[in-house]
Amino acid sequence: MDTLQQLVLSTLNATEIIEDTRRLNIPEEFGSPNDQETQLALQGALNSLQSKDMISYNINEQIVHVLTPEGSQIAREGSHEARVWSAAPFKGEHSPLKLSDLKIKVGEDTSKIGQGRAFKNGWIGKEGDGIVKLMRSIDDKTQVELQEIESYGTLKAGDKALAEVRKRKLAIQRKYLWFTVKKGANFRSEIEKLETDLTVEMLSSGSWKTSKYKKYNFDAEGTPTNGGALHPLLKVREEFRNIFFEMGFAEMPTSNYVESGFWNFDALFVPQQHPARDLQDTFYLSEDPSTSLDPPSELYSKVATIHSIGGNGSTGYRAPFLKTESTKLLLRTHTTARSANMLYDIANQPGGFKPTKMFSIDRVFRNETMDATHLAEFHQVEGVVADRGLTLGDLIGFMQTFFGKMGITNLRFKPAYNPYTEPSLEIFAFHPALKKWVEIGNSGMFRPEMLEPLGLPSDVRVHGWGLSLERPTMIRYGINNIRTLVGHKVSIESVEKSSAVRF
Ligand code: PHE
């Protein structure tokens, strides 16, 4: 229960009207009644009662004087001149007080300020090189005035005297509010609890009909709402997406994390004996289900043939090719599984193949040892371009444009190996901060052994490239441990506060 509200109500109950809240007996815990905080607390209590129509009140203004720290000291200890007077011995009774000793007794400031006035008032006199009292007792008007101001905020002596005190910087003027309070239409001597919520219980018991409700306060500031925030990876992802869209790419649907061995590996001409397919590198599903439906049969036999026997000038792998490997379900190790699937759709769409540019940015999984920069999952940014007569020069030129849009202009390419591309190129960029060449991606021209079984016309060339989303994000936000970016140790606050990204 609010003490001030209760004080106002019980006073009103006894007296009908509170003419002047300055006469209220405000409990000491609120501080001095002259303090601004006390006034504000009182006005808050009145506002709250008035909003319930329990009271109404008028505001009155009064100018009050409040002592400065120097003024309070004088009210307590006497004026400077009185302190000088009291330090001096009475004329003829003792040897005079030397000025150097006065300074020590009353302090340098008081000694300096007090002497002049004490002489002028005839309180002290000079004798030899010291001072003596001339009066037995004095009337320290300044102290009395300041004590009056301290108690009443003003002086009976009037404005001139107040102006003098202000000039001496012993008091300052303050506006003081006081209130006249009357009973309102809903006056009660106790504060009733008003409902702020309509609850299920009130509805079912019917008490809502008789309950009293608190009025809406449309002037109240609401609590700040929490908005969602994009994770830094998603911010960088958005930038990559924009670059792809700008270059005329369409986004591939990649919302499935589970793929078959067929689409993740076989369709990409990854031999069934390839070490990447080992349990140590790939997560396989063990149940519910652990195998996929059969791949489209015509496609499957073409892929099986190219792997085991070869064709169109390729010798194939001449190694066993088993359906049980193809139908194993696994967490995709790259989004290139989806790219292969999309190329199959495009080759076999009504009206036949049309040139295409596609991209995806999504999560992939690898059974890797985890360390500061590697987790068992990451995001791949992948682009695929399919057209007639594309060359390696197109791929290189394209890379330069793509990375150039991120501000990476200095690129180098190094021959590499992928089972599904030939030639394959690792992409390196010069890192100005690290002052060295760092690998930023992997790329290549997809092999005919992959493209022909998918049904693409033989003059269609496809190039593709992939990079991780985590690496540029970590560089962009100056993060050097992946666990501060992904996983349960990431602070929500850092996510909410991470700045937007513009390449
Ligand atoms: N799939 C490759 C990887 O995981 C990236 C890539 C995509 C390479 C397309 C060439 C062509 O690194």
Residues 56 and 31 in one domain: yes
Query: What is the CATH number for 296?
Result: 3.30.930.10
Q: What's the half-sphere exposure (Cβ side, CA atoms, 13 Å) at 381?
A: 23
Q: How many CA atoms lie within 13 Å of 379's alpha carbon, on the beta-carbon side?
A: 24
Q: Tell me: do 389 and 414 sit in the same domain.
A: yes
The tokens for 39 are: 């006034």
* Residue 164 resides in a domain: no
**Do residue 386 and residue 484 come from a single domain?**
yes
Please give the helix or strand (H or E) that residue 104 lies within, else none.
helix 99-106
Mean pLDDT of the chain: 92
Q: Is 397 or 438 the better-scoring residue by pLDDT?
A: 397
- Answer yes or no: is pLDDT of 358 > 60: yes
Q: Do residue 57 and residue 193 come from a single domain?
A: yes
Q: Does 227 reside within a domain?
A: no
Residue 364 Cα: closest atom of ligand 1: 4
Domain boundary among 88, 123, 139: 139
Task: Quote the pLDDT of residue 292.
Answer: 96
pLDDT score of 63 more than 70: yes
Instruction: Give the nearest ligand 1 atom to 382 CA.
Output: 7
Domain-ending residue, one of 139, 155, 182:
139
Mutate to test the pocket of ligand 1, among 336, 338, 358, 395 (most ligand atoms within 8 A of CB): 336
Residue 424 CA: which ligand 1 atom is closest?
10
Dist. CA 47–CA 53, nearest whole Å: 10
On whether residue 37 sits in a domain, the answer given is: yes
| 431 shares a domain with 394 | yes
User: What is the arithmetic mean of pLDDT over 105-111?
Assistant: 91
Does the residue 460 lie in any domain? yes
Burial of 164 (0-12, 13-18, 19+ CB in 10 A): middle
pLDDT in tens, 38-62: 888 899 999 999 988 999 999 998 8
Instruction: Give the mean pLDDT of 459-464.
Output: 96
Domain residues for the domain of 32 are: 1-68+170-217
Indicate the number of domains in the chain.
3
Residue 34 clears pLDDT 70, i.e. is over it: no
Same domain, 245 and 131: no
Same domain, 45 and 94: no
Lowest-confidence region among 149-163, 262-276, 339-353:
149-163
C-alpha 240/C-alpha 40 separation (Å) is: 55
Q: Does residue 1 have a pLDDT over 70?
A: no
CATH number where 194 lies: 3.30.1370
Label the pairing between strands 55-67 and 171-183: antiparallel
Is residue 204 located within the same domain as residue 237?
no
Average pLDDT over residues 304-322: 95
Q: What is the pLDDT of residue 478?
A: 82
Place of tokens 């449309």: 218
pLDDT at residue 33, as a whole number: 67
Mean pLDDT score, 139-156 = 91
- What percent of the chain clears pLDDT 70, i.e. is strictly above it? 99
| Same domain, residue pair 242 and 197 | no
> Of all protein residues, whose CA lies closest to atom 3 belonging to ligand 1?
466
| The domain boundary residue, chosen from 98, 124, 139 | 139
Q: Work out the burial of residue 489: count CB atoms within 10 Å of its CB; fewer than 13 is exposed, 13-18 middle, 19 or more buried.
A: exposed
Quote the pLDDT of residue 480.
83
Cα gap 11→396, rounded to integer Å: 88
Section 361-377 average pLDDT: 90
Are 161 and 155 in contact, with CB atoms under 8 Å apart?
Answer: yes
Ligand 1 lining (C-beta closer than 6 Å): 334, 336, 382, 418, 421, 442-444, 464-466
Residue with tokens 């006034």: 39
pTM of the model: 0.59
Residue 370 resides in a domain? yes
CA separation for the pair 115, 119 (Å, rounded): 6
How far, in Å, is the centroid of ligand 1 from the Cα of 489?
30
- Residue 42 shares a structural domain with residue 178: yes
Q: Is residue 47 part of a domain?
A: yes
Assigned domain for 152 exists: no
Q: Are 177 and 58 in contact (CB under 8 A)?
A: no
pLDDT at residue number 290: 94
Going 444 to 449 to 455 to 461, the CA torsion angle's sign is positive
Q: Say whether both 345 and 406 belong to one domain.
A: yes
Structural domain contains residue 121:
yes
Q: Are residues 125 and 10 in the same domain?
A: no
Radius of gyration of the chain (CA): 44
The pLDDT value given to residue 261: 97
Span 409-415, average pLDDT: 93
Choose which residue among 465, 470, 471 to substitute to test ligand 1 binding: the one with the highest number of ligand atoms within 8 A of its C-beta. Answer: 465
Percentage of residues in the chain having pLDDT higher than 90: 69
User: For residue 449, what are its two tokens?
Assistant: 């052994």
**Which has more confidence, 461 or 279?**
461
Residue bearing the bigger pLDDT, 177 or 457: 457
446 has pLDDT over 70? yes
The answer to whether residues 441 and 396 touch, using CB atoms and an 8 Å cutoff, is no
